[in-house]
Amino acid sequence: MRIKNIKDADIKLLEFKDYYVSEPNKYKGKWKELFKNNNPIHLEIGMGKGKFLKESAELNPNINYIGIEKSDTVLLKAARMISETKLKNIHLLSIDANNLLDYFASQEVSKIYLNFSDPWPKERHARRRLTAPSFLRKYQDVLVKDGVIELKTDNENLFNYSLDTFEKANFIIKKQSNNYDSKINNSVETEYEQKFKGENKTIYYIKVVKMTTKKRMKLYEDLVNLHGPSGDEGLVKEYLLKEYKKETDEILRDGLGSVFGVKRGKKDEPVIMIAGHMDEVGGMVTRLQENGFIKFINIGGVVPHLWVSQNVVIQTAKGKVKGVVASVPPHMGASGEVKVESLFIDVGAESKKDLEKWGIKPGDFLTFENDYYITKNKNRIVSKAWDNRFGTGMALEVFQELKNIEHPNTVICGATVQEEVGLRGAKTSSQMVEPDLFIAIDVSPVGDATPGPGDSFGKLNGGFLIRFYDPSNIMNPKMLEYVEGLAKKHKIDYQFFLSRGGTDAAVAQYAGSGCFSITIGLPGRYIHSNTSMIDVRDVEAVKAIVLEIIKDFSKERLLELKKWKYISLVKIELK
Ligand code: SAH
């Protein structure tokens, strides 16, 4: 239905100041203050002329309704109609849903209605559909835990498309119908719904619920709680083998213990290798002392003072033994720099004999004892081993998603061993595969809470990290442009990141005669400790970009990227 634009609709809207909010960005996180109550907020996105919103508000005085409409002309009609009521529980915003996060804070909205949204039938316009993945990531953010989205449409393609995108974005589908009748379901009919019903058109309906963080991140909870310092990754390996075998018959292992699943693509098309590293930092028992204390060394980079007074778990042949790294109390004059050599573990033993009896031996591995927990801010989670059970889990999630996406590539997803002690498993496994593109997925320390020396990069909830430089791997400029371009095109949040450390991508670049090798990073705080913190919204951004790369990649794209921007034309004369 084409509507003639009303002249100066944006100015005319200002007359309706009881309903129309002219500066909605002022109320981000404070909508309940505007409504002057604590009632739940429901949004209708693409509200049109306001029939649904008005009737819903009349029926449910204990719900705050906010209507979003990008056309001022349409919104003006809604404002005129609603201003004839005395309703106190409606506000209207002239915004594009694309910019939702500029106006709504995390978990501020209880329910979103998408009623008869534009279907954008052409595939190349799919990104504008209000259920495209980039929109769903925004809804995930603004919705409360257990938040709901209801969609009604007359368009079968939009219905099927939305079922698919909702599921992939980790919403739980509660109800779907291809013969929906609002009257029977006690729901308010929208203007378009009335019109289409009059034309005897089928009405499609979907109701989804936001998955809780607990459920969404269950895979990671399982993975981070496993014991697996570099060199002792057996438990993680077992977990991964079981999961990859559910997806494929073709499992690849290198001689050091790295594990990969293979999904074959078309002949002569690129091989993409995607890897997290399954090891974490930790320690190793070196000496059992006569007095029952245990000496240990670092496995990977742990700043020594982080050990002090931490609970640790030693994995012995006879099972787990818990203990504490001894600390000097203030009464005894603790001061100065801590060295690992001066630390010891107290597991409660009274003699070396006790230790031997409990199965503790030199060479046993230990990790921090830390339980995974979700913070009050439901998006942020603390654990000992985000670095890098995150990459381990994400490579698996991506592999599980391959059956749902179209692309010609062979994709090999998995996890390397012994990254923290010198990128060892990545070296052997990338030599084994010789991929065309290697993507390391890893957690990188961002500087928003604890800035490092010099420039700090990145923050939590800023999107995935494009690591353009680290001392052992410089991102190919074409590749950088490519990844950034894809992120922009698909509206995935990203941030540029410079690191002073390295990832598996550093050694994978040497595979064969050399390959494209990049790191897609997850922002992390306090890594290499027992209390690192990540944000689930960044997890979604990492997943989205890796899937977009796979979908876009092909032999053609590879050749295009290999044409370097700068080619040296100077020929070297050999004597
Ligand atoms: N919900 C109403 C109107 C449906 S028509 C009903 O069921 O009767 C879809 C409306 O969505 C149009 O008015 C269009 O301007 C609006 N719209 C489409 N994309 C939008 C976006 N990205 N942000 C805000 N509004 C949008």
pLDDT at 408: 97
Atom 3 in ligand 1: which residue has the minimum CA distance?
48
Q: Is pLDDT at 381 greater than 60 in this prediction?
A: yes
Mutate to test the pocket of ligand 1, among 1, 42, 44, 47 (most ligand atoms within 8 A of CB): 47
Query: How many Å apart are CA 279 and CA 257, to the nearest integer?
Result: 11
The arithmetic mean of pLDDT across residues 322-337, rounded, is: 72
Convert the pLDDT of each residue in 250-300 to its tens digit. 999 999 999 999 999 999 999 999 999 999 999 999 999 999 999 999 999
CA 223 from chain centre, in angstroms, equals: 16
Atom 18 in ligand 1: which residue has the minimum CA distance?
46
Ligand 1 centre distance from Cα of residue 502 (Å):
47
Atom 17 in ligand 1: which residue has the minimum CA distance?
46
pLDDT at 454: 66
Of the listed ranges 1-5, 360-364, 463-467, 526-530, the least confidently predicted one is 1-5
Burial class, 488, CB count within 10 angstroms (exposed 0-12 / middle 13-18 / buried 19+):
exposed
Ligand 1 centre distance from Cα of residue 184 (Å):
25
Of the listed ranges 327-336, 431-440, 547-556, the least confidently predicted one is 327-336
Q: Is pLDDT at 567 greater than 50 in this prediction?
A: no
pLDDT at 565: 44
Q: 211 versus 571: which is more confidently predicted?
A: 211
Alpha-carbon dihedral angle through residues 111, 115, 121, 123, given to the nearest 10 degrees: 0
Ligand 1 centre distance from Cα of residue 97 (Å):
9
Atom 11 in ligand 1: which residue has the minimum CA distance?
46
Nearest atom, ligand 1, residue 118 CA:
9
Q: How many CA atoms lie within 13 A of 86 on its CB side?
A: 0
Nearest atom, ligand 1, residue 192 CA:
8
Mutate to test the pocket of ligand 1, among 52, 55, 65, 71 (most ligand atoms within 8 A of CB): 71
Q: How confident is the model at residue 575 (pLDDT cuts 50, 70, 90)?
A: very low
Ligand 1 centre distance from Cα of residue 130 (Å):
9
Query: How many Å apart are CA 220 and CA 465, to the nearest integer?
Result: 19
Nearest atom, ligand 1, residue 191 CA:
8
Ligand 1 pocket by C-beta < 6 Å: which residues?
A: 45-48, 68-71, 74, 96-98, 115-118, 190-193
At a CB cut-off of 8 Å and minimum separation 6, what does 459 contact? 446, 447, 448, 495, 523
Atom 16 in ligand 1: which residue has the minimum CA distance?
46
The arithmetic mean of pLDDT across residues 225-238, rounded, is: 97
Which pair of tokens denotes residue 523? 């922002």
Give the SS3 label for residue 543: helix
Mutate to test the pocket of ligand 1, among 92, 116, 158 (most ligand atoms within 8 A of CB): 116
Atom 19 in ligand 1: which residue has the minimum CA distance?
46
DSSP 16: -
pLDDT at 335: 63
Query: How many Å apart are CA 30 and CA 102, to the nearest integer?
Result: 13
Atom 26 in ligand 1: which residue has the minimum CA distance?
46
Contact 193, 115 (CB under 8 A): yes
Q: Is pLDDT at 482 greater than 70 in this prediction?
A: yes
Q: How confident is the model at residue 185 (pLDDT cuts 50, 70, 90)?
A: confident
Q: Is pLDDT at 327 greater than 80 in this prediction?
A: no
Paired residues of 347 in beta bridges: none
Which pair of tokens denotes residue 168? 């992939």
Q: How confident is the model at residue 337 (pLDDT cuts 50, 70, 90)?
A: confident
pLDDT at 52: 97
Measured at the CA of 238, the angle between CA 234 and CA 242, to 5 degrees, comes to 170
Ligand 1 centre distance from Cα of residue 326 (Å):
63
Q: Is pLDDT at 485 greater than 90 in this prediction?
A: yes
Query: How many Å apart are CA 20 and CA 35, to the nearest integer?
Result: 13
Ligand 1 centre distance from Cα of residue 118 (Å):
7
Nearest atom, ligand 1, residue 128 CA:
22
Nearest atom, ligand 1, residue 44 CA:
1
Give the SS3 label for residue 201: coil
Convert the pLDDT of each residue in 541-554 to its tens digit. 999 999 999 999 99
Query: How many Å apart are CA 553 and CA 174, to the nearest integer?
Result: 34
pLDDT at 456: 83
Mutate to test the pocket of ligand 1, among 5, 100, 117 (most ligand atoms within 8 A of CB): 117
Query: How many Å apart are CA 298 and CA 190, to the nearest integer?
Result: 64
Ligand 1 centre distance from Cα of residue 96 (Å):
9
pLDDT at 333: 54
User: Of 429, 439, 409, whose CA–CA distance to 268 is shortest?
Assistant: 409
Ligand 1 centre distance from Cα of residue 38 (Å):
27
Contact 138, 105 (CB under 8 A): no
Burial class, 312, CB count within 10 angstroms (exposed 0-12 / middle 13-18 / buried 19+):
buried
Q: How many CA atoms lie within 13 A of 572 on its CB side?
A: 3
Ligand 1 centre distance from Cα of residue 75 (Å):
10
Ligand 1 centre distance from Cα of residue 207 (Å):
18
Nearest atom, ligand 1, residue 193 CA:
7
| Matching residue, tokens 């080619």 | 567
Q: Which residue numbers are catalytic? A: 419
Q: Could you count the other beta carbons within 10 Å of the beta carbon of residue 3?
A: 11
Contact 168, 141 (CB under 8 A): no
| DSSP, residue by residue, 309-365 | T-EEEEEETTEEEEEEE----GGGT--S---GGG--EE-S-SSHHHHHHTT--TT-E
Q: Is pLDDT at 328 greater than 70 in this prediction?
A: no
The arithmetic mean of pLDDT across residues 495-513, rounded, is: 95
pLDDT at 39: 96
Query: How many Å apart are CA 158 and CA 32, to the nearest integer?
Result: 33
Of the listed ranges 358-362, 429-433, 566-570, the least confidently predicted one is 566-570
Q: How confident is the model at residue 1 (pLDDT cuts 50, 70, 90)?
A: low
Q: Is pLDDT at 37 greater than 50 in this prediction?
A: yes
Nearest atom, ligand 1, residue 135 CA:
22
At a CB cut-off of 8 Å and minimum separation 6, what does 363 contact? 284, 285
Average pLDDT over the chain reads 93
Query: How many Å apart are CA 315 and CA 319, to the nearest integer?
Result: 6
Question: Could you tell me the end-to-end alpha-carbon distance of the chain, in angstroms, rounded to an integer?
Answer: 77
The arithmetic mean of pLDDT across residues 301-326, rounded, is: 95
Mutate to test the pocket of ligand 1, among 43, 69, 114, 151 (most ligand atoms within 8 A of CB): 69
The arithmetic mean of pLDDT across residues 461-480, rounded, is: 96
Atom 20 in ligand 1: which residue has the minimum CA distance?
46
Measured at the CA of 566, the angle between CA 560 and CA 572, to 5 degrees, comes to 115
pLDDT at 566: 47
